[in-house]
Each structure stands twice: as C-alpha cells, then as structure tokens.
Chain A
Amino acid sequence: MTKTTLIKAITAAMDEELARDEKVLVFGEDVGKNGGVFRATDGLQKTHGAQRVFDTPLAESGIIGLSTGLALKGFRPVPEIQFFGFVYEAMDEIAGQLARIRFRLGGTRKMPITIRAPFGGGVHTPELHADSLEGLIAQVPGLRVVIPSNPYDAKGLLISAIRSDDPVFFLEHMKLYRSIKAEVPDEAYTIPLDQAAIAREGQDVSLISYGAMVQECLKASDELAKAGISAEVVDLRTISPLDEKTILASVEKTSRAIVVQEAPKQAGIGAQVAALIAEKGILYLNAPIGRITAPNTPYPFSEAESDWLPNKNDIIAKAKEIMAY
C-alpha cells in the first residue's frame, strides 16, 4: 500500500500490464520520451522499450486507426488521446470503425483496445481541452465508458479495461490527477467493469454521479449530514453500460434521487440514469428526480469555468429542495 495520486495509479496500472502481457502497447502524442503531457506514461518507455511505448504522429484519427490495425494483428493497444476534446477528430475511427468491428465481423474478431483520455473542467485549459463529451461516446454501441473518481478505482479499473477483450474508453478527470491521494496497493488488482460503487452510505437521498462530481457529492454529503440529511453517494464508475441494479437498489432505499454530472444537460448520462429510474423505479420515489448539470453551452472560457461548473452548493440546495418536497 502506498498513498498516491490518481495519475500515479494510472501509470502503475499501465506499467504492470506492460510487464504482464507482451501484447500490450502504449502510444499516442508525447507518451514516449516525454512520458505524456501529464506524465501519465512517465518512465514507461524506459522500462518497456520504444517498441512498446512510443510516440505517434499528431493525428487522432490515425492513432485510433493504428490501434484497430494493431488489434487485428493480435496486439492489445492502449492509445492515448491527449485531451478528450480532440476526440471529434477520431469519431469515425472510434464510433464508425473500432466499436463496430466485432459486430460487423459476426463475432469472429475482437478489439481489446483501451483508449485513455484526460478531460474535465477546473484546471484552466484552453478551448476543447476540458469538455465532458462522455455522452457522445456512451451512445456508441460496442464500447464501454469508464470514469474513475479516485486513485484506488483508477488503477483497478484501468487494469480491468486493459485486460478486457472489448474496447473501453477510459476517461481521466484532470482535476483528480493530483488533487487527492489514497491508499493504493502496489501490486496489480482489478475492479470489475459495469459495476457502480456506493461511495458513501446514506438513507434519505441518493446522489448518483461519476468522475470529479463524486468528490463534490461527498463534500455535499458531509454538509448535508450536519443539516440532518443522510445522503448516499453512488459512484457509477462505468457510465456505459449503467449498473442498473446498484442504482435502483439505492433509490429503493432512499426514495429520492439526484443525478449529478459535469457535462451539459442535453442527452447526457444523467438523463440516462433519470430515465432508468423513471422506467424501473418510479414507484420508489417520494419526490421528482433532481438533475444537476452544466448549462447547455460549449465549455466556457476558463476564467468563467467555476461559475459554469456544478458544485457542492448546487447539490446541497437541490437535496434540501427535494427533501422538502
């Protein structure tokens, strides 16, 4: 056990999988000698060699197409998209190509590819670096979308993703990279995909979220406790597919639900969770489902981002409103 950051947990996961399976390849823009713009691949090229950890030319569609081709030759690629906002460049190679390959080949081939990308607001980036576009990717059949909220989950989920024979889009919130530390085992371990976690148990209201907003939910829950409201925090971890069982069990217990996402409201993961509760758990509810999201605009200019991003105060206010319903 070592107390470590989320980014170090990510590096450790790749390091261990590179050592464990010679088919694993890690590549992308600046991931080689430079160790990634966030140092997520720091030292990996030195340890595992430039044949297995390498820089690519600067082209996102090329990086994903390269991954598909390598997977067809039996490799287990772990490409990095340097910032999630650059994913539009690669949408065909992701959604039109790699995610469909197993389906269109009638199950005769597999695509064990883990695409990693940093994303998320609050770190004062230029345009198209911080955008939460996970809803777009979550709509693609054949892909899993995983977003860890803490260092322990990050390592175990990334190892599961790399070992998965299906493609996984693994999103790493930039604000979480170094802002929190947690105990992380030194050895490899897995956390199952497709399973949400109860980040905090509670009785009165379920705060259902993922990524950095889980940390906001936990802070909100601390303050709500002082006001006598016991909030349960559900960390989705895999946002596509959703863990229906855990979500519904929590809502059945608390009878109130608030979905919290950093992404704009339209067609996001929160809408999917709300629809699930409406479809399969509406009779559990004592109040309308609350939704905390960013406004439906492109990601703001960075000096305004703290006003644009949802935060714990929004969650607290909504929880109180729902408790009073």
Chain B
Amino acid sequence: MSQNIIDFSQLDKLAKEFKTVKVLNEDGKIINKDWEPDLSDDQLKELFHQMVWSRTLDERSTKLNRQGRLGFYAPTAGEEASQIASNFALDKADFLLPAYRDVPQLVRHGLPLYKAFLWSRGHVDGNKYPADLAALPPQIIIGAQYVQAAGVALGIKLKDQRQVAYTYTGDGGTSQGDFYEGINFAGAFKAPAIFIVQNNGFAISVPRNKQTAAPTLAQKAVAAGIPGVQVDGMDALAVYKVTKEARDYAVAGNGPVLIETLTYRYGPHTLSGDDPKRYRTKETDDLWHQRDPLVRMRKYLTAKGLWTQAEEDSWIEETRNEINEAINKVENMPKQKISEYLQNTFVDSPVEIQQEIERYTAKEAD
C-alpha cells in the first residue's frame, strides 16, 4: 500500500520550535536565569522609567484627546514591554519605521514630544524631523513600512554601517503582501532589519485566529529563510533580550530577524469611535491585566531594592510636566499655510505649482 509522503504533522513539529520566550513571570520572578539580560541596575531602572513614562503618556494623551486638545490617537497602555523594551535594545543610529501606535518608541528615539502631538493634531510640523533623527513618521497603511524597512536596511548594508532598520506592525499586518515582500527582500539581500510584529490579539476587531491558520506569526519567518522568535510581549526583560540578540545578529551581517511579541492593548484600537466591548470580553481583558508589564517589572525591581513609590511618583510628575509643556507649545503653533504645502510637494516645483504658490501666498497675505 502506498505510504503518505506529506508529513501532516509538520505544523505541530514546527510549533515546538516557536515556544514563547519568557524571562520574567507575572510575580516578577526570573524564570529563565540563563536569559536574564546583562543590564546594570541603572539600565534596569531606566527601562522601567521609560515604561512608566509611556503609561503616563497614554493616560494623559487619552484625556487630552477627550478634551479635544489632541487629534488622532491609538492607545498604547498594555504594550509598554513590547514597545519600550524593544526600542530600548536599539541604537540612536538605527532607523525606525513605526506604525501609528508606535509613538512612544519614536519619542524615545529622539522625536520631540511636541512634534508627536502636532502629528496627532494634523500639523505638518509634526513630521518635520531633525536631520539626525533616523526615523520616518508613523505609517498609516498597514505593512507599507515593511518593504521600506528592507530598503533602508539594504542602504545600511551598502554603506557598510553597523546599524539596523527596525519596523513595527501588528498581527493584522502580517496578512499584508508588503509584510511578506519586506521580510523576503531583506532576507534575500541579507540586509540588517528587525521586523517586530506586536501581536495584541486583534486587528481592530478581528481576532488573531481569523487572521491566519499559522499557529504563530513568528514562524512566518521560516518561509522567508530568516530567524523568527515569539516572545512574551508583557515581559520587558524577554523583549529586550531577544531584540538585543537580533540586533547583534543583524549588524554582524547575518541578515534580518522577525520578532513576534504577544501583547495586549487595554484600550480601544483608536479613540475615533472604536468600542472593544463589541469584540472582547471582560474576562480576556482581566486576564491580560494580570500580566501587566509594569506590575511585574515593579515587583522585580522591588526585590532588587531598585524601586520606591516616591521615585515612581516623581517620574510621573515629571512626565506630566513634560506633557503639559508640549501641549501648551503646540496650541500656540502658527497656522499651516497651503503655500507651504505646495512648496513641499517637489524640490523643483513645476511652473503650475509655482503659480499656485503665488496665488496662495497672496490669499494668505490678506
């Protein structure tokens, strides 16, 4: 009798290769001592400081949006380990291609906070980045930044720089053609890119299990011939550790890495009318709140004698002041001019655009 050729258990075998990397458990205990990252006490405190900053920024941004003082906003609470700890492992010279929820990384990478607020409000000055800020503004089209990241990474390689391009998308983003093209191009060129998939379980309302039959998103790396890893995205130490390793691997000339972080957004998709109660249960929310990335870091640092309530309170206070200063600044920015928009469309403006610039400049002078 003819035997089966296709190994129909291959997916089960593959799943064993993509077990979630965990370092710190929910009680703040190290569960994989071998993987505890080499971070000094000061670095650990700084990492947590940035996570507290991000949570505070999210709380304040939500309030500012409700007050009509901020515009488009995609909440970040719950994703601090995924966002901040990955960014923390990377270098200022590395090139960041964020999606719209990745404002915290952009600011930590060097974008002045007031510019992030201008972007949210819909002011072009928010996208005028300093020449030495290696980043693009947040991408709106899901996955479009993945192919661009491959290009930046190839540019880094051609210039022989010891840097990486790093980019984020969500679980839904891994269904896009550009996701596959991006990881495949970077793999084919052995270009130094780090592709981070922040799997928060929902693409707006569509659950992860409706997005793909693949048991993990990390294993999508296999088809591109690049390494992939799934990590507990509520565990800052695990996220930091894998991102750092991925960076070392990429800058050594080995090519790109795909990282899937398992995380959760506590809030809605954006503040533009999304109601998560339509597609998520309270039980699921509660489950993820128990895994909170700040709580477990706080426990970990407390055990090490590195945390006090007074210090965390002072950080929150500082952050609120920083936010107040930034929002006051953007509320006093000059109005945008269409003549400037026209000037920004080309380096060398065609005649008809020059005429439009003159027309709008005259109108704006009235």
Contacts and interface: CB of A to CB of B under 8 A. Distances in A.
Interface of A: 25, 51, 56-57, 59, 61-62, 64-75, 92-93, 96-97, 102-108, 110, 141-142, 144, 164-166, 194, 241-245
B156 interface: yes
Nearest to A69: B151
A57 B224 CA distance: 11
B127 A244 contact: no
Nearest to B347: A165
Interface in B338-355: 340-341, 343-348, 350-353
A276 to B, nearest CB: 10
A103 B124 CA distance: 9
Contacts of A97: 141, 144, 148
B178 interface: yes
Most buried by B among A67, A73, A97: A73
Given A61-B178, A65-B181, A164-B348, A74 B155 contact: yes
A69 B146 CA distance: 10
B181 A73 contact: no
B128 A59 contact: no
B178 A73 contact: no
Interface stretch (B182-190, B212-220, B251-259, B260-268): B182-190
Interface string B170-188: 0000000110011011001
Interface string B127-158: 11101000011000100101111111111101
Contacts of B144: 65, 92-93, 96-97
A165 B150 CA distance: 22
B155 A72 contact: yes
B345 A142 contact: yes
Contacts of A68: 147-148, 151
A61 B158 contact: no
Contacts of A59: 177, 181, 184-185
Given A69-B165, A194-B351, A241-B352, A108 B152 contact: no
A71 B347 CA distance: 14
B185 A66 contact: yes
A66 B154 contact: yes
A51 B158 contact: yes
B151 A61 contact: no
A243 B153 CA distance: 39
B95 interface: yes
Given A72-B155, A103-B341, A108 B129 contact: yes
A163 to B, nearest CB: 10
A106 B125 contact: yes
Contacts of B346: 102, 142, 166
A166 B344 CA distance: 11
A69 B154 contact: yes
B184 A57 contact: yes
Nearest to A77: B151
B159 interface: yes
Interface in B318-366: 340-341, 343-348, 350-353
A92 B177 CA distance: 11
Contacts of B95: 72-73
Contacts of B137: 104-105
A245 B137 CA distance: 38
A166 B347 CA distance: 6
A102 B185 CA distance: 24
A108 B153 CA distance: 21
A106 B95 CA distance: 19
- Most chain A CB neighbours (cut-off 10 Å) among B129, B346, B347, B351: B346
B138 to A, nearest CB: 10
B128 A69 contact: no
Given A66-B185, A73-B158, 10 more contacts: A62-B150, A65-B185, A72-B155, A73-B152, A73-B155, A75-B155, A102-B345, A103-B344, A104-B137, A142-B345
A23 to B, nearest CB: 10
A61 B147 contact: yes
A73 B156 contact: yes
B29 to A, nearest CB: 41
A159 B177 CA distance: 33
Nearest to B350: A241
Nearest to B149: A69
9 contacts: A59-B181, A62-B147, A62-B178, A69-B154, A72-B155, A73-B155, A103-B341, A106-B128, A243-B351
Nearest to A73: B155
B194 to A, nearest CB: 14
B150 A66 contact: yes
A199 B303 CA distance: 83
A57 B185 contact: yes
B106 to A, nearest CB: 13
Contacts of B351: 194, 241, 243-245
Contacts of B129: 105, 108
Contact of A66 (B151, B159, B348): B151
Contacts of B159: 73-74
B184 A65 contact: no
A105 B345 CA distance: 10
Contacts of B188: 56-57
Contacts of B347: 102, 110, 164-166
A65 B185 CA distance: 10
Contact of B178 (A65, A67, A107): A65
A19 to B, nearest CB: 17
B350 A194 contact: yes
A65 B184 CA distance: 12
A239 to B, nearest CB: 12
B147 A66 contact: yes
A70 B146 CA distance: 13
A104 B151 contact: no
Report the 8 A-B pairs with minimum CB-CB distance, sorted nearest first. Answer: A69-B151, A65-B147, A73-B155, A62-B181, A107-B344, A106-B128, A69-B152, A66-B151
B357 to A, nearest CB: 12
Contacts of A62: 147, 150, 178, 181-182, 184-185
Contacts of B136: 72, 105
A56 B151 CA distance: 11
